[in-house]
Amino acid sequence: MKSANKRVAVIGAGISGLTAALRLQQRGADVTLYEGSNHAGGVIRSEQRDGFLLEHGPDCFVSNKPAGLALCAELGIEPELISTNDAHRRSFILYKGKLEPLPQGFFLLAPTTIEALRGASILSLAGKIRLARELFIPPRKESGDESLASFVERRLGREALDRIAQPIVAGIYTADPARLSVQATFPQFLEMERKHGSILRALRHNAKQRGEESKAAGPRYGIFVSFKRGMQTLIDALRAKLTGVDLQLNTRVTGLHLKGERWQLDSSAERGARSAESPKTPDPGPRTPDFDAVVLALPAHAAAKLLSPVAAELATELAAIPYANSAVVNFAFKREQIKHALDGMGFVVPAIENRNIVGCSFSSVKFAGRAPEGFALMRVFMGGALQPEIAQWDDNRVRDAALAELREVVGARGEPVFATISRHRGSMAQYEVGHLERVARIESLTGKLPGLALAGNGFTGIGIPDCIRVATDAAKALRA
Ligand SMILES: Cc1cc2nc3c(=O)[nH]c(=O)nc-3n(C[C@H](O)[C@H](O)[C@H](O)COP(=O)(O)OP(=O)(O)OC[C@H]3O[C@@H](n4cnc5c(N)ncnc54)[C@H](O)[C@@H]3O)c2cc1C
Ligand 1 centroid from CA 233, angstroms = 16
- Is residue 398 domain-shared with residue 459, that is, in the same domain? no
Question: Is the pLDDT assigned to residue 1 strictly greater than 80?
Answer: no
428 lines ligand 1 (CB under 6 A): yes
Output the pLDDT for position 118: 80
Query: Which of 18, 370, 464 for a ligand 1 pocket mutation test, highest count of atoms within 8 Å of Cβ?
Result: 464
Output the pLDDT for position 339: 97
* The domain boundary residue, chosen from 392, 410, 429: 429
459 lines ligand 1 (CB under 6 A): no
Q: Name the average pLDDT for the chain.
A: 90
330 lines ligand 1 (CB under 6 A): no
- Is residue 444 domain-shared with residue 465, that is, in the same domain? yes
- Is residue 314 domain-shared with residue 328, that is, in the same domain? no
For the stretch 129-143, pLDDT in tens is 999 999 999 998 888
Confidence class for position 286, pLDDT limits 50, 70, 90: very low
Number of domains forming the structure of the chain: 3
Query: Which of 298, 360, 361 for a ligand 1 pocket mutation test, highest count of atoms within 8 Å of Cβ?
Result: 298
For the stretch 252-264, pLDDT in tens is 999 999 999 999 9
This prediction has a pTM of 0.93
Output the pLDDT for position 170: 83
User: With left for phi above 0 and alpha for psi between -120 and 50, is residue 265 left, alpha or beta?
Assistant: beta
SS3 letters across 318-331: HHCCCEEEEEEEEE
Burial class of residue 374 in the structure, from the number of CB atoms within 10 Å of its CB (0-12 exposed, 13-18 middle, 19+ buried)? exposed
Question: Is the pLDDT assigned to residue 276 strictly greater than 60?
Answer: no
Output the pLDDT for position 239: 98
424 lines ligand 1 (CB under 6 A): yes
CATH of the domain at 346: 3.90.660.20
68 lines ligand 1 (CB under 6 A): no
328 lines ligand 1 (CB under 6 A): yes
For the stretch 147-167, pLDDT in tens is 999 999 999 999 999 999 999
Structural domain boundaries enclosing 116: 103-216
Range 117-145 burial, b when 16+ CB lie within 10 A, else e = bebbebbeeebbebbbebeebeeeeeeeb
Confidence class for position 383, pLDDT limits 50, 70, 90: very high
